[in-house]
A and B are shown apart, each in its own frame.
Chain A
């Protein structure tokens, strides 16, 4: 889409050096120095894109493209405002822009994702209409300052009338000079992308009807508003996982040119099958979505009804590094969240790690599922931490008298170090702040690690976590 320059810097550079070299490149470019003209409202640069290009760029969208072209109609034809909706990454924005490139009609594009409040949205539209570009010369300011919708309507009316008169003037010149990149027609299209984000703004209840009624308010036959919106299967996620699968699929075929027939496909597929399950359950590094199910494994459902369930291999090691005191803090936070406070004494101090399992209560387990991890004050966390580390201290000493680790624990003067670890755990969102205690007003914390992760951490420390948990 458009001409993209291959970046000349391919190795990693620091930000400051990249900025310096970019500045040099910028000065030599002529683009910054020439004032923006009406042709900048076009899409696609010099040559209009042909219809076949548009259709071939988006396979499977032929019906929608033809429908859109019909609604836009021949040149200078007025139309009612149009609302385009669909799931994410279904191609709404890109198809729209390419269609405009094909028709070569001027438009103003603004995304409610980048313009996150009404003022920025209004100013961006006005800037584009007034052909004003923010650069260093005018201090990156907008052409007009516009905060309220009432001002916006007036300014928009002025800007549109000036642009339309420009366009009509241009078309008069068209016959005399041959310019391929001239804008066609007397109409300007306003495109609002990501419209659903407006609902999150303040005063959204007035913004949305305002935008939808902008058409009526301006009473100009020659503008057309086109809000977009969002909401199918996410092609971007699927593509990453499909590429890996496809590579595996093609492994046994030495000759890439042959088209496999049914029998071969079946054999290839049965070879692929044991790989599919771990792919399906793979973590979201690959973001593998189970709609792979519909595409690649339809045959699996018909042929092999018994699929290995899960097949997930729990990774026994943590993916990242944490220092030991942080690990102990994490475990204590987990215990503090899971166990009720009243049992602390019995579990940790009096009885020590208990061998007998507590009896399971159905409703209590339900409660755990529904309410989630509980909150705890800081003092309780530190108390549990001290208990655990003193236990660990003993066990470490018993095992192999390793001096390197044993020195720090059980020493009160290093409490500041522990608090630093705690704050870094909070920053990493392993521990979050819950509500504050109603009586004293001190903040309470909550641990957000899952049981799997806590088990992994405990395993790395050789800490018997299961014996300290209230329910198992």
Chain B
């Protein structure tokens, strides 16, 4: 007890904050020319002026598009309580138009307390949707369609998009279609007839700048001074946090980290790992927590895989590398064995094993996906005759051999040669 409980509560609070996208993106939305305010303006104007609209939100994964959208919708639902209904579709699940119409009908029924029948056909569902659009238009209610993974809707015949946008134009309706996509060219994917009905409004979500990142981190990681946590603990925690955040070493770590991937989501996962590492005994975040989190996140699976290999498997990998440098484009297990034998004959290595054992090691490499077959056809041949190729680059192999404990020196020599 004592120190334990506030530390646990603080940990819970921090973790729940980091898992809640709408909390973390709020400070980014405060300025007047941010995407938040632009989006809010567009949607609210179409609600108040009773017109149709469509817009695309584009940006790399994890930049907060859906989070900002959720913030906007929450605020609008608070401002105009009965005038908006929201339908959410996802391209991963609903890209097929039958599923999509069913889902739209289901959500509309839930929204307006109607009975939804699972037996309704796709035609019934689409007519229901058009009828609902008309009725809502007459009653001055706006329906907002949120299409997540918009580029997946744009595959195939784009029937859903066409019928939706067509309905918006022909029927007296008030609808806003908001597409969210991580492909920056999502609007180029649309067919001509769909594109002509689509207004070419796009909002780009760019990665946050360095000042924004600093602001975000302070916003997320500082504990609030309310009654649920003891006052002196909070003050001390915040002071220590400031020390860490302004530390030069920390800034360097952060820069290196964001160089690899500068989206906001990446940062938040890093913060999550760091917060997980927080020592529950003291209850404060230290620089070591962040350093440990970096090591945990920036892993290299292939390198670890190579480090886990046995010596015979390393021999096989090195033989395959040598065959590739000799410009033999396609080779199979028997060719590798020939190379292995020639190495043994010239260098008299102590590691010369029989055919069976090598075949078993070869199969292990296949399972671990360090090598693979070059083509799938011709499966009725036995394993030894399939052409194979390496899935690790020579740099990775070099690194793996260097970091392998007790690697025979001969392998280094063979790789260098």
Q: Which of B126-134, B209-217, B356-364 contacts A (4 or more CB under 8 A)?
A: B356-364
**Which residues from B are CB-within-8-Å of A433?**
380
A79/B310 contact (C-beta < 8 A), A70-B277, A209-B92 known:
no
**A274-300: which residues lie under 8 A (CB-CB) from chain B?**
280-281, 283-284, 287-291, 293-294, 298, 300
**Which residues from B are CB-within-8-Å of A288?**
357
A419 to B408, CA, bound (A): 54
8 Å CB contact of A88 from B11, B311, B330, B367: B367
A283 to B94, CA, bound (A): 53
**Which residues from B are CB-within-8-Å of A79?**
15, 19, 272, 276
Size category of the A interface is 35 or more
On whether the beta carbons of B352 and A310 are closer than 8 Å, the reply is yes
Q: Which of A149, A150, A284, A307 has the most CB of B within 10 A?
A: A150
Chain A residue nearest to B299 (CB atoms) is A85
**Which residues from A are CB-within-8-Å of B312?**
289-291, 293
On whether the beta carbons of A290 and B310 are closer than 8 Å, the reply is yes
Q: Is B301 an interface residue (CB 8 A)?
A: yes
On whether the beta carbons of A78 and B92 are closer than 8 Å, the reply is no
8 Å CB contact of B310 from A70, A71, A289: A289
**B284-326: which residues lie under 8 A (CB-CB) from chain A?**
296, 301, 305, 308, 310-312
8 Å CB contact of B92 from A77, A149, A280, A284: A149
8 Å CB contact of A306 from B311, B350, B382: B350
A80/B19 contact (C-beta < 8 A), A73-B11, A150-B99 known:
yes
On whether the beta carbons of B66 and A216 are closer than 8 Å, the reply is yes
On whether the beta carbons of B380 and A280 are closer than 8 Å, the reply is no
Q: Is A30 an interface residue (CB 8 A)?
A: no
On whether the beta carbons of B369 and A432 are closer than 8 Å, the reply is no
| Residue-wise interface mask of A (211-238) relative to B, using a CB-CB cutoff of 8 A (1 in contact, 0 not) | 0010011000100000000011110000
Q: Which of A350-358, A364-372, A379-387, A457-465 contacts B (4 or more CB under 8 A)?
A: A364-372
Q: Is B334 an interface residue (CB 8 A)?
A: yes
On whether the beta carbons of B276 and A372 are closer than 8 Å, the reply is no
8 Å CB contact of A291 from B18, B310, B335: B310
A284/B356 contact (C-beta < 8 A), A293-B351, A370-B334 known:
yes
DSSP class of B's interface residues: helix, strand, loop or mixed? Answer: helix
B284: min CB distance to chain A, Å: 15
Instruction: Count chain B residues whose beta carbon lies closer than 8 angstroms to a beta carbon of A.
Output: 59
Q: Is B16 an interface residue (CB 8 A)?
A: yes
Q: Is A169 an interface residue (CB 8 A)?
A: no
| Residue-wise interface mask of B (7-30) relative to A, using a CB-CB cutoff of 8 A (1 in contact, 0 not) | 010011001101110000000000
On whether the beta carbons of B335 and A370 are closer than 8 Å, the reply is yes
Q: Is B282 an interface residue (CB 8 A)?
A: no
**A150-170: which residues lie under 8 A (CB-CB) from chain B?**
150, 153-154
Q: Is A206 an interface residue (CB 8 A)?
A: yes
A208: min CB distance to chain B, Å: 10
On whether the beta carbons of B361 and A369 are closer than 8 Å, the reply is no
On whether the beta carbons of B16 and A78 are closer than 8 Å, the reply is yes
8 Å CB contact of A446 from B102, B348, B356, B380: B380
On whether the beta carbons of B93 and A149 are closer than 8 Å, the reply is yes
**Which residues from A are CB-within-8-Å of B15?**
73, 77-79
**Which residues from B are CB-within-8-Å of A149?**
92-93
**B155-195: which residues lie under 8 A (CB-CB) from chain A?**
none
A67 to B348, CA, bound (A): 45
A283/B356 contact (C-beta < 8 A), A77-B16, A293-B311 known:
yes
**Which residues from A are CB-within-8-Å of B277?**
70
Q: Is A74 an interface residue (CB 8 A)?
A: yes
A213 to B106, CA, bound (A): 21
**Which residues from B are CB-within-8-Å of A293?**
310-312, 351
A319: min CB distance to chain B, Å: 14
On whether the beta carbons of B380 and A434 are closer than 8 Å, the reply is yes
**Which residues from A are CB-within-8-Å of B408?**
301
8 Å CB contact of B356 from A85, A233, A234, A281: A281
**Which residues from B are CB-within-8-Å of A434?**
380
Q: Is A448 an interface residue (CB 8 A)?
A: yes
Chain A residue nearest to B16 (CB atoms) is A78
A150 to B406, CA, bound (A): 52
**Which residues from B are CB-within-8-Å of A148?**
93, 99
Q: Is B354 an interface residue (CB 8 A)?
A: yes
8 Å CB contact of A77 from B12, B99, B348: B12
Q: Is A176 an interface residue (CB 8 A)?
A: no
On whether the beta carbons of B92 and A213 are closer than 8 Å, the reply is yes
Q: Is A47 an interface residue (CB 8 A)?
A: no
Q: Is B41 an interface residue (CB 8 A)?
A: no
**Which residues from B are CB-within-8-Å of A206?**
92
Q: Is B384 an interface residue (CB 8 A)?
A: yes
**Which residues from A are CB-within-8-Å of B222?**
none
B47: min CB distance to chain A, Å: 23
**Which residues from A are CB-within-8-Å of B361?**
289-290
A287/B360 contact (C-beta < 8 A), A233-B308, A370-B334 known:
yes
Q: Is A76 an interface residue (CB 8 A)?
A: yes
Chain B residue nearest to A305 (CB atoms) is B350
Q: A221-B19, A294-B310, A306-B350 are in contact. List 18 more A-B contacts (CB 8 A).
A: A76-B12, A79-B15, A79-B276, A149-B92, A150-B99, A216-B66, A231-B301, A232-B308, A233-B310, A280-B357, A289-B361, A290-B310, A290-B357, A293-B311, A309-B344, A369-B338, A370-B387, A373-B385
Mind listing 21 A-B residue pairs with CB under 8 Å?
A70-B277, A77-B11, A77-B15, A77-B16, A80-B272, A85-B301, A148-B99, A150-B103, A154-B106, A206-B92, A209-B92, A210-B92, A217-B90, A231-B301, A231-B369, A284-B360, A293-B312, A300-B350, A306-B350, A369-B338, A371-B385
